[in-house]
Amino acid sequence: MKIRLFQSYQGDCLLIEAASGHRMLCDGGTGAAMRDFVAPSLERLARDGAMLDLVYVSHIDDDHLGGVLAMLEAALQWKVYDYHAERGDPPAKPDARRVPRIGALWHNAFHDQIGANAGPIHTLLAANARALRRAMSSRWSCWAANTPA
């Protein structure tokens, strides 16, 4: 088993690779940490045809979820690009680095929130990454404004 800990500013981001070759990304750090430290390694995995079998989010705080949202947004941008490129009408390449395919996304709160609609949720989250990031940003702004110094 290999465990890689990424610099993630104040959050966490680990890539665990089992002897079987299965990979799990645990948290994603902040969006900036994803861009600066994690995305280059994920891009290498994508280039090698590897995938992330599971992305796990421990809890919904920006320093754990922010990087995952950035990664999902990049995945969506590349999916749109690839779709159009396959049809001979490619848009401009995304600025974000390409990320590997994601097999599943898991957070222990999802079961209560989605109930009988359980299924691949990463597509839904990718489609809503910007809205989730804005909600997260305003949540933290309110928290910071109400936190005693």
pLDDT at 83 over 80: yes
Across-strand partners of 14?
Answer: 5, 26
Q: Hey, what are 87's tokens? A: 């049809």
Note the pLDDT of residue 145: 42
Q: Do residues 74 and 124 make contact, with C-beta atoms less than 8 angstroms apart?
A: no
Q: In the chain, what are the domain boundaries?
A: 2-145
Average pLDDT (94-102) is 95
pTM (whole model) above 0.75: no
**Of residues 113 and 80, more confidently modeled:** 80
Least confident of 78-82, 96-100, 108-112, 117-121: 117-121
Which H or E element spans position 101?
strand 101-102
pLDDT at 133: 60
Q: Which stretches within the chain are classed as H helix?
A: 31-33, 39-47, 62-86, 110-114, 122-127, 129-145
